A and B are shown apart, each in its own frame.
Chain A
Amino acid sequence: MPRNLPAHHRRGDGLARAGRAVRLVLLSALALLFLLPFYLLVRNGLSSEADITSPEWTFFPGELHWGNIRELFEDPDVPMAHALLNSSLIAVLTTLGTLLLASLAGYGLARIPYRHANLVFYWILGTLMVPAAVTFVPSFVLVSSLGWISTLRGLVVPTLFQAVAAFIFRQYFLGFPRELEDAARVDGLGYWRTYWRVVVPNSRPVFAAVGTIVFIGAWNSFLWPLVIGQDREAWTVQVALSTFTTAQSVNIHELFVAAAVSIVPLLVVFLVLQRYIVAGVERSGIDD
């Protein structure tokens, strides 16, 4: 604190303390509001149907029905286990594929001199202006003419080329210390081996940051799996949940327990890797 504060700063001390208290109360109220939907998810998931639809709304259900989880996985009309498997496969493959392709591209753009590198870079950036969601009709047309509807290929391959990820890697590699690469070159390593032996092992945080963001996006994505994964066999968790919600074909408690189960993998990823996710968000929001 500077020593000679103007008078109103000293007078403001009590005011500042009151301000802090108000801020804390406000934040706590908002925090409760932000947590409420998660609470409702668990509350309804572990309630009996009668508890949920009771006209007298209660904050706590009468008793917790853990059996709802077993009921969900034993219900032959609800292919939840299969949908979880599909979502896991898709999310893992999408994450690994995106990391590989985008990091290689980012490194090449940042480090390998090539006369038309700028042109290639703008070609990639151009797709940022036309978001994937807007082109889902044309992409659907392409994927269906390849015969990839309702296949793992169709669900994963077209989503692997994310310009944002390549852009983040390029920016990161531009700032990568050249000394490390130069040392590798003196040892006689070419671009390829320098990349795998020196650059990748020293860049784990950025891979973790991009990887978690891509994983969350892949697990939660909806429009593309809805369009491509048409057969029940190809449903992801999101498509299955959406089908049951919109068709209202499943009991409310089962729907909620399914939704609660569907966010468990993400909550685990989230709590374990939060600092990487935050780093990923910060990188993905930087526009220039």
Chain B
Amino acid sequence: MRGAAPHQKSPTRRSRFGRQNRTLWFWVFVGPFVLGLTLFTYVPLAWSAYLSFFDAHNTVSPTEFVGFDNYTAMLRDDAFTDSLLTFLVFTAFIVPATYVLSLSLALMVNRLRWAQAFFRSVFFLPVACSYVVAALIWKMSIFNGVRFGLANTVLGWFGADQIAWLSTTDPPWYWLVIVTVRLWLQAGFYMVLFLAGLQRIPPRLYEAAAVDGARPGWQVFRHITFPQLRATSVAVVLLLVINAFQAFDEFYNLLSDSRGYPPYARPPLVYLYYTALGQGQNLGLGSAGAVILALIIAVVTVAQARWFGLGRKED
């Protein structure tokens, strides 16, 4: 127990840390960070909100005011609305898949009596790999559309035909490639979060359940483990959705080639990249797109936080 209250004012402290002084020191510590954050996040956002009302081809100081034209053009643009649809489809695949895989891994690893550290390391190792390298392995080795691709070799053992994984749109095999890359890269990260959550569950809950006759396995999971992991689950789902929204690396590296990007599986950031920085360099249009995306993600984050009751003081 501490003897003194934290903000007790002793004579020496008042002279050394007077209010004026404290305000000054607060800004010495926090100022540089806040300044940089403002300059490199808020200013660009504000500037791009400004640009989005102008015709800004290849320029950042436009003169021709166009009102909401960029916004209506963006929202009427099928390619842009398709990209939002792509995000929805991708999220519908990747969020439940990652959630189930990482939770299952955590449950299995957590109950191991030996080699726990080994298995944790193995599943966590892909976190060290970049999306670029992973996409390279997936595209050029595992899901290479030619005969020496691993997946096609395996299909060959069963006498099945080769599949051009990334260019087949019916059925859309490319989703298999895209989803498995991300699953491999991020499952270990979320497994670690779940492991931390599992270790916070008080053992007495399990003891009480055993005394009450709950069967180990599904019943215990359903009534104790899963409800106790609620906070972790909420955080994981929130992070998964935000990350899915920002997907760029693996899509770009798997699907684009020297001719550009195919007209399918184009998530919002990839579309923006080609609109704003591609040949047209239409920064007004790109800015309108960025503002729309920023609004969408802010609304999604807030709605999700509300829905799960985050932000309430819990302790």
Q: Residues on A close to B: CB < 8 A?
A: 2, 5-6, 8-9, 12, 16, 19-20, 23-24, 26-27, 30-31, 34-35, 37-38, 40-41, 44, 52-55, 57, 101-102, 104-105, 107-109, 112-115, 117, 120, 123-124, 127-142, 144-145, 157-158, 160-161, 163, 166, 178-179, 182, 185-186, 188, 190-192, 195, 216, 219-220, 222-223, 226-227, 238, 241-242, 245-248, 252, 255-256, 259, 262-263, 266-267, 269-270, 274, 277-278, 281-282, 285-288
Max chain A C-beta neighbours (<10 A), residue from B34, B109, B246 = B34
Nearest-CB residue, chain B, relative to A1: B210
Bound complex: CA A205 to CA B25 (Å)? 25
Q: Which of B40-62 contact A (CB under 8 A)?
A: 40-45, 47-48, 51, 60
On whether the beta carbons of A138 and B33 are closer than 8 Å, the reply is no
On whether the beta carbons of A5 and B148 are closer than 8 Å, the reply is no
Of the listed stretches B76-84, B88-96, B286-294, name the one at the interface; the rest are far from the partner chain: B286-294
0/1 string, B91-129, CB within 8 A of A gives 1: 000000000000001001101100000011111111111
8 closest A-B pairs by beta carbon, nearest first, are: A108-B29, A138-B44, A138-B48, A105-B33, A220-B130, A108-B30, A57-B153, A114-B26
Chain B's interface: helix, strand, loop or mixed, by majority? Answer: helix
On whether the beta carbons of A263 and B108 are closer than 8 Å, the reply is no
Residue B128 contacts which of A20, A117, A142, A266 (CB distance < 8 angstroms)? Answer: A266
Of the listed stretches B64-72, B169-177, B221-229, B247-255, name the one at the interface; the rest are far from the partner chain: B247-255
Bound complex: CA A277 to CA B147 (Å)? 39
On whether the beta carbons of B26 and A117 are closer than 8 Å, the reply is yes
**B263 in the interface (beta carbon within 8 A):** no
**B192 in the interface (beta carbon within 8 A):** yes
> How far is the CB of B171 from the nearest CB of chain A, in Å?
23
**B236 in the interface (beta carbon within 8 A):** yes
On whether the beta carbons of A130 and B297 are closer than 8 Å, the reply is yes
Bound complex: CA A15 to CA B234 (Å)? 33
Q: Contacts of B232 on A, CB cut-off 8 Å?
A: 285
Question: What is the size category of the interface that chain B forms with chain A?
Answer: 35 or more
Q: Contacts of A132 on B, CB cut-off 8 Å?
A: 41
Q: Contacts of B258 on A, CB cut-off 8 Å?
A: 246-248
Residue B310 contacts which of A40, A52, A238, A288 (CB distance < 8 angstroms)? Answer: A288
**B298 in the interface (beta carbon within 8 A):** yes
Please name 21 pairs of A and B residues whose Cβ atoms are closer than 8 Å in the assembled complex, sorted by A. Answer: A2-B207, A101-B32, A102-B33, A124-B37, A133-B246, A134-B294, A135-B44, A137-B276, A137-B290, A140-B277, A157-B36, A186-B12, A222-B130, A242-B253, A245-B136, A259-B132, A259-B137, A281-B193, A282-B193, A287-B235, A288-B310
Nearest-CB residue, chain B, relative to A219: B130
Bound complex: CA A267 to CA B224 (Å)? 37
> How far is the CB of B277 from the nearest CB of chain A, in Å?
6
> How far is the CB of B98 from the nearest CB of chain A, in Å?
13
Bound complex: CA A54 to CA B277 (Å)? 39
